[in-house]
Structure 1
């Protein structure tokens, strides 16, 4: 059996609705690590996934929706937001009273406080806390990603005005802001080339819009049962939900839990 690259989104995929990893999933990943590479690919930044990396003993990961990648805990890819263009976007959001937080690799600060309770609600839903208020954060740090707190009624209002960025929704309460040419899929392609693994040997799992291109880039793209319809439409296989052993179910049905001869 050829070496494969298994790539897992985190929220809604590897994690249950309670932000836990099922014991059966942990066993399956430990089994696969004997012969294959296991990688996380998430919209979260590194510091927001460190506990899960430690729990799974994983050292390969893509964070910030593809803006950074690490192999054996060493950064191999970087794609940060342009600060001049970001400054213009931040001014626009301020005028619209839209809250935004900005992400470095290991820090995360908000630069506004229009609707603190909504930011708190959004962060609690992914097991996090509202970030510290630091309005000059973007001027002093490399920014890998923005996090804008608005619901789907405002989707697609900013793309024409700010074509330098992509506004990627994976949560009902906020969107991620990444470079226009950035995505999990772009970074996955770079990482797979670095590892010498061909597209046919990439197996990717996801559930939200920021996973669509990643599933298309994979040899086998697997949508969780709880995935939205856009993700299911591009998947090669639709498994059970993240709360119902969806990862292990897909691996068993696709005969992916096999060792090399």
Structure 2
């Protein structure tokens, strides 16, 4: 019996095409809640940038944010896995030397460091992020625990810089940027943190995703569901592949599996 479902946001709950949650998805989540299933969000977004779930916010029990670096049940922080300070400073150095922007995500604040046209296009236009600071005065954020670094770089550039970030892993879900977190911060570990707090077993969980940063949670969940628009690697490890988000994928899977 499924007691908790974890949903990725971009490309899973929220359409890349419309920037909205399909009506069928809302209906499916309401159906799950009516069966006393807990609903959790599992995203690479930090909490301040989760601004596109207003239709279902009242149905959400908790969040895995920044790819597992900071997890919540209600307002309670369940776990926090910050990036080592040396790796944060190395990323700043690489950004200044090579010339790429990156999102610096602290526990409370965030900014786009070395913002440029590429980061504006990706985050404001393609991902519909409206409340993003672009301030290079990062000293106040550096006094916080740093949860995530999201450089706007290609896959080839990512492979060049990752060896410098010894305590980090990278989870790419978009061709134009990647999310870098501490080595033990991933969505799968976030799931384990939350269900341990709630007394739920792995077999009682289901997770939905579409990107590279969903690999760990799709592998660890009792039932891992890949969207029809997911990458092929994710589909290969999923227990079930549904239709795309724009083709009622979440509704179809929940009707079939729940």
The TM-score with structure 1 as length reference comes to 0.91
Partner Cα separation in structure 1 for residue 200 and residue 54 of structure 2? 22
Query: Does residue 90 of structure 1 match 2:92?
Result: yes
How many equivalent pairs are there? 252
1:11 is displaced (CA, Å) by 0.4
- 2:26 is paired with a residue whose SS is helix
Partner Cα separation in structure 1 for residue 45 and residue 54 of structure 2? 12
Q: Which moved more, 1:243-252 or 1:99-108?
A: 99-108
Q: Which moved more, 1:123-132 or 1:174-183?
A: 123-132
Deviations 1:188-232 (A, max 9, x none): 111111111111111000000100110000110000000001100
Partner residue, 2:246? 243
1:111 is displaced (CA, Å) by 2.2
The TM-score with structure 2 as length reference comes to 0.92
- 1:157 is paired with a residue whose SS is helix
- Structure 2: which 5+ runs fail to align? none
- 1:243 is paired with a residue whose SS is helix
Partner residue, 1:33? 33
Contact 2:102 2:152 in 1 (8 A): yes
Partner Cα separation in structure 2 for residue 39 and residue 119 of structure 1? 28
Partner residue, 1:196? 199
Q: 1:172 to 1:52 in 2, by over 3 A?
A: same
Deviations 1:150-202 (A, max 9, x none): 12232322222222111221111111110012101011111111111111111
- Structure 1: which 5+ runs fail to align? 257-261
Contact 2:227 2:244 in 1 (8 A): yes
| Counterpart selection for 1:218 from 205, 218, 221 | 221
Partner Cα separation in structure 2 for residue 40 and residue 48 of structure 1? 13
1:51 is displaced (CA, Å) by 4.6
Partner residue, 1:158? 161
CA RMSD of aligned residues (A): 1.7
Query: Does residue 11 of structure 1 match 2:13?
Result: no
- 1:94 is paired with a residue whose SS is helix
Partner Cα separation in structure 1 for residue 98 and residue 155 of structure 2? 15
- 2:122 is paired with a residue whose SS is helix
